[in-house]
Structure 1
Amino acid sequence: MTIRIMFGPDNQMPPVIHTPLPPKTEQIHTPVADMAGIGRVRKSNPSSIEKDRDKDKDKDKDKVAEILNELESYIGLIIVKRLIRDLQAFVEIQKRRTHERLIAEPLVLHMIFKGNPGTGKTTVARLIGRLFKEMGVLQKGHIIECERADLVGEYIGHTAQKTREQLKKALGGVLFIDEAYSLARGGEKDFGKEAIDALVKAMEDNKDNLVLILAGYSQEMDWFLQTNPGLRSRFPIHIDFPDYTIDELLAIGKLMFKTRQYELTTDAEDTLRFHLQILLSSHRYAGNARLVRNLVEKTVRKQAVRLFQKPSSSREELIQILPVDINLENL
């Protein structure tokens, strides 16, 4: 601010000091509704934090949709897909009820998977871990896959230690135990019972940060649940994985060839169907994808041996699978 001093004509007169007035400022009238204070709510645009939260929610929804689309792309598993959709709806509605301060059902999501080998149990378990992570049920959503040898020790106290180690690795995700019924075999002196007791305790202690999935053959899993009266009630979700039909097995085989950049001729497709029908009628657990994968890999090797006998091969020959390439020997 500039201050001016002026002297009059008479040097004996005191100087006149002029101090400029401060510039006028416009008065800003704050609407009552915008005034902060007791009983007032400030009306403003959403903060950047709220916007970031909304973006994160949208990303989570996109990831959930992506995972569910992947589930739908699996061949067969119609009942399994429906149950997973039901689980998603149940979890989401309980979250909404909690947000509205309504009574919500506890999210006890431990599961029993029953079915023959190669029917998709491990694949679906991995997908469930990812799905629950994106839905906010699990922190990490990873999966730890183990069996009896990873849990049962050789002396007293060793089993509990090994089981706790696997549980610690699985916290925040899924602990998947294949052939879980083997834990109850071996009689009273077997250490498998110790592993079961440790698992039951962990289910209660970490119910908000762990999903336990026990898998195995249908009949054996039913027997296993009967050996311990408290087990069945702790696993409210039971999912049966049916064997694949002949059409589903054929579709799986064709997809496996396609992902490897091979194509079946029309005659080769008929030959593949014929061999799959033989497998289904002769093998107890033939109706699964694992056996089809073995057949596909064996076919690719046979095609390679056939083409290796020629000095050169065209691109079409390298892609085509012929009926002579498909064989069940030593499968």
Structure 2
Amino acid sequence: MSYLWPQDVLSAIENGQLSPKDAFRYLRDMDQSILPASRQDGSAAHQRVEEIMRELDSLIGLSEVKKLVREINAFIEIQKRREKEHLITDPLVLHMIFKGNPGTGKTTVARILGKIFREMGVLSRGHLIEVERADLVGEYIGHTAQKTREQLKKAYGGILFIDEAYSLARGGEKDFGKEAIDCLVKAMEDKKDQLILILAGYQKEMENFLQTNPGLRSRFPIHIEFSDYTKQELMQIAEQMCAKRQYKLSPEAKALLEKMLVPPTRNSDENFGNARTVRNIIEKAIRRQAVRLVVKANTTREELMTIEATDLAEV
């Protein structure tokens, strides 16, 4: 079995990949690997970081994002080396802004960053807590601070990822969202060694959000833009999704899917979901294929694996 992240062990049990007994043994055996960075074997930690980087590289597209993640990784490593040599180091302020449309990989990249930062000793746990406005903003005075602190507490040692973060400022000065922002800013200062905050959302809306809160921009030194996927990349994502499920697209299905996929640059629908849209199409096509085949008394392996153009046409 490939290397499992500690918080993924429970999922492995639920999916039948590990028995409870084997999971216990697995966690016991990896005890050395979850020691604080100061007590870890450097080469082992480096090897795990490289393994996580390969996971990042396996994602379709995102070339600029991958480049920036490697820059961040290199920066952290060099600061640690400088500290060993008693040289002046820059503070590791790693709070980030992710700008991009839905389905462009923001949450996936945030989760990978958590793993990298954990292996490098920047974060103690490296887990990801994903929230939105409703998880932070309360209904009465004092309720918002309480809800926000609860989410922050869950995220300590890892990353708090706030999707559509600009919604926190949409109600103006009297909106409780401002209270959530104030609480988050305070935590960024008080718990700066225990937490990384990532604010995510549409590019235009995030820019407007930062302009309405001038103090926020300086607190987020890292801005990553997630470009929309090209049609070719969307097709690669579709084929990758199929392969993972042991399906494949017939030549006619590929041709039809290419016509169906219209990236946002040429699409008037601002809600186009990039990889999310592709996933929805493939999952619906798989269900339609099932309906088409279930009436047959006998099916071949090839039929069970192949998605035909008719399955996509139904979508």
Task: Give the aligned partner of residue 312 of structure 1.
Answer: 298
Task: Give the aligned partner of residue 274 of structure 1.
Answer: 259
- Distance in 2, matches of 1:100 and 1:234, equals 28
2:277 paired with 1:291: yes
CA contact (8 A) 1:183 1:196 kept: yes
2:230 paired with 1:259: no
Structure 2: gaps (5+ residues): 1-37
CA contact (8 A) 1:295 1:328 kept: no
2:164 paired with 1:179: yes
Residue number among 196, 220, 233 corresponding to 1:235 in the alignment: 220
TM-score, normalised by the number of residues in structure 2? 0.85
CA contact (8 A) 2:104 2:226 kept: yes
Task: Give the aligned partner of residue 17 of structure 2.
Answer: none
Following TM superposition, by how much is the alpha carbon of 1:287 offset from its aligned partner in structure 2, in angstroms?
5.9
TM-score, normalised by the number of residues in structure 1? 0.81
Task: Give the aligned partner of residue 53 of structure 2.
Answer: 68
Q: Which has the larger radius of gyration?
A: 1
RMSD: 1.6
Following TM superposition, by how much is the alpha carbon of 1:327 offset from its aligned partner in structure 2, in angstroms?
2.5
CA contact (8 A) 2:100 2:201 kept: yes
* Aligned counterparts, 1:18-167, within 5 A: 56-167=41-152
* Aligned counterparts, 1:178-197, within 5 A: 178-197=163-182
Following TM superposition, by how much is the alpha carbon of 1:208 offset from its aligned partner in structure 2, in angstroms?
1.3
2:163 paired with 1:214: no
Q: What letter corresponds to residue 126 of structure 1 in structure 2? A: R
Instruction: Encode CA deviations 1:72-127: one digit per residue, 9 max, x unaligned.
Output: 00000000000000000111111111110000000000000000011000000000
Aligned residues: 277
* Structure 1 residues 277 and 167, CA gap change in structure 2 (3 angstroms): closer
Greater percentage in helix: 2
* Structure 1 residues 111 and 54, CA gap change in structure 2 (3 angstroms): closer
Residue number among 165, 190, 198 corresponding to 2:183 in the alignment: 198
CA contact (8 A) 2:288 2:314 kept: no
- Distance in 2, matches of 1:278 and 1:207, equals 38
More RCO (CA 8 Å, sep 6+): 2
Residue number among 309, 321, 324 corresponding to 2:307 in the alignment: 321
Instruction: Encode CA deviations 1:112-151: one digit per residue, 9 max, x unaligned.
Output: 0000011000000000001000011111101111111111
